Structure 1
Amino acid sequence: MTQIFSPAADTWLRLFLLAGLALTAGGLVMVVGVARSDYVTSSNFRPSQPVPFSHRHHAGELGIDCRYCHSSVEDGPHAGLPPTATCMTCHSQIWTNASMLAPVRDSLAENKPLSWTRVAKLPDYVFFRHDVHIAKGVGCETCHGRIDEMALTYRAKAFTMQFCLDCHRDPAPNLRPANAITAMGWKPQGDVRAAGEAIAAHEHIRVGELTHCYVCHR
C-alpha cells in the first residue's frame, strides 16, 4: 500500500495548528491593545493651542478655581470655555505685552473667540452632563486627573465605556463633598467607601440604575 502522508505529517499538522492558534490569540491581543492605546483614546496627547495655556500655573501655582474659567460647569451640560474677556480680566494688568498673549489681545480687539482645540471630548452618541456629576459629588480630578500639574493640558483618563461603567457600577470611591469638588489632590479622612456611600445616600444616587443603556445613550 502506498503511503500518502510522510511520517512527519502529524508533527507538521500540530505545528500549523499551534501557529494558527498563536496568531489568532496574538491578533486579538493586538486589537485590544490598539483599541486601548493612547493613539486611539487620545490619552496623553497634547494638541497645539492658539495660546500655550498652563493649568499648572493658573490652577496650581495661582490657585484659580476651575469654576472661574469654566463657569457653566455647575449649571449646564458643558463646562464651557472662558470668553476672552475673562482672560483679559487679569491680562489687561499683567503680562499685557507678552508676545505669547498676542492671540488673546487680537481676539478681544476683533471680537472673535479663540479657537481652542478640545481635549476632553466625548463621542456625539454619548449623553453627558457636567452639572449632574458635579451635583452628585464627582470631582473634576476624577475624570480630568491632576489638571493643576499640567503645563500643557492633555487627556489624563481614557474616556472609554469601561471607564464610565466602572464608576457607574460603584461610584462611592469617587464621590466627595461639595466643598472639595474642584480640589486637586484631595483625600477623604477615614473610610473612603463609607464616606462615599454616605454621599451617595444623601444625594439619592440610584446605583442599580446607572448602568442602564439609556443613562448614557439617548
Structure 2
Amino acid sequence: MRQLFAPGADAILRLALLTGILGIITLLVIAGFVSESNYVTTVGVAPAQPVPFSHKHHSGELGIDCRYCHQQVEVQATAGIPPMYTCMTCHSQIWTGSEMLAPVRASLANNTALHWTRVNRLPDYVYFNHSIHIDKNIGCSTCHGAMDQMQLTTRAQAFTMAFCLNCHRNPENFIRTKEQIWNMEWTPPSNQATQGADLVKQYHIRGPAQLTDCSICHR
C-alpha cells in the first residue's frame, strides 16, 4: 500500500503546532507590553493645548494653591477647570499683552470656553469622585504625580484597575495627615505603617472587602 504521508510528516505537524502556539503566546506577550506602554497609556505625554499652561510656574514657583483654580475638588466629583476670569484676576495686571495668552483674553471677552485637551481620563464605566478621596486624606500627587514640577501637564499614572485596587486594598500605605494633602513632595514617613493605620481608623475608611466591591467604582 502507498503511504498517504511521508515518514517525517508527523514531526513536521508537531513542529508546526508548536510554532503556532509559540507564535500566539509571543503575540499575546507583545500585545500586553504594548497595551501598557506609554504610547498607549499616554503617561508622560503632554498633548497640545490652546495655551501652554505651566503648573510648575504657577504652583511650584509662585506657590498658588491647587484650590485657587480647582475650586470644586473638595466638594464635587470632578476637580473642575477654572473659568477664564480666574486666570484674568492675575493676567489683567501682568503679561497683559502676551501673545501666548491671547486665547485666554479672547475667551473672556467673547464669553466662550477654551477647549482644553483632557489629560487624565477614566473609562465611562468607571466612577471616580475627587471629593471623597480628598476628604479621606489621599493627596493629589498620589494619582497626579508632582504637578508642581510639570512644565506642561502630563498623565502621571495609567490608572489601571490594578493601580486603584492597590490603594483600595491598602489605604494605610497612602493616607496622609490633613496638612499634607496638597504637598506634592510628600513621601510616606518612616512611621507610615502605624500612622497610616491610625488615620484609617480616624477617618472611618472602609475595609478592603468594601473598598474592593465592584459597585464602588462601577455604578
Decide: shared fold, TM above 0.5: yes
Q: CA deviation at 1:116?
A: 1.4
1:113 partnered with 2:101: no
Question: Residues 189, 69 of structure 1: CA spacing in aligned structure 2 closer, same or farther, 3 A cutoff?
Answer: same
The answer on whether the counterparts of 2:70 and 2:80 sit within 8 Å (CA) in structure 1 is yes
1:103 partnered with 2:115: no
Which residue of the partner structure matches residue 125 of structure 1? 125
Distance in 2 (CA, whole Å) between partners of 1:188 and 1:44 is: 23
Which residue of the partner structure matches residue 165 of structure 1? 165
1:12 partnered with 2:36: no
Q: Map Cα deviations across residues 13-62 of structure 1 (whole Å, 9 max, x no partner).
A: 33212211211211211222232232332322321111000111111111
Q: CA deviation at 1:215?
A: 0.4
Q: CA RMSD in A?
A: 1.6
Which residue of the partner structure matches residue 216 of structure 1? 217
Distance in 2 (CA, whole Å) between partners of 1:125 and 1:189 is: 35
The answer on whether the counterparts of 2:174 and 2:188 sit within 8 Å (CA) in structure 1 is no
Q: CA deviation at 1:159?
A: 1.4
Which residue of the partner structure matches residue 62 of structure 1? 62
Distance in 2 (CA, whole Å) between partners of 1:149 and 1:18 is: 50
Which residue of the partner structure matches residue 202 of structure 1? 202
The answer on whether the counterparts of 1:172 and 1:200 sit within 8 Å (CA) in structure 2 is yes
Which residue of the partner structure matches residue 143 of structure 2? 143
Query: Which ranges in structure 2 are unaligned for 5 or more consecutive residues?
Result: none
TM superposition score normalised by structure 1? 0.93
1:50 partnered with 2:50: yes
Equivalent positions of 1:17-28 (< 5 A) are 17-28=17-28
Q: Map Cα deviations across residues 61-83 of structure 1 (whole Å, 9 max, x no partner).
A: 11211111101001111100111
Q: Map Cα deviations across residues 157-189 of structure 1 (whole Å, 9 max, x no partner).
A: 001222111211112111111111111111243
- Paired letter, 1:36: E
Distance in 2 (CA, whole Å) between partners of 1:136 and 1:84 is: 30
Q: CA deviation at 1:216?
A: 0.6
**Percent of aligned pairs sharing the same letter:** 55
- Paired letter, 2:213: H
- Paired letter, 2:121: K
Q: Map Cα deviations across residues 102-145 of structure 1 (whole Å, 9 max, x no partner).
A: 11111121122222111112222211110000011111001111
- Paired letter, 2:212: T
Query: Which ranges in structure 1 are unaligned for 5 or more consecutive residues?
Result: none
The answer on whether the counterparts of 1:77 and 1:130 sit within 8 Å (CA) in structure 2 is yes
SS of the aligned residue for 1:126 comes to coil
Which residue of the partner structure matches residue 80 of structure 1? 80
Distance in 2 (CA, whole Å) between partners of 1:52 and 1:170 is: 37
SS of the aligned residue for 1:198 comes to helix
Which residue of the partner structure matches residue 40 of structure 1? 40
Distance in 2 (CA, whole Å) between partners of 1:21 and 1:194 is: 49
- Paired letter, 2:43: S
- Paired letter, 1:143: C
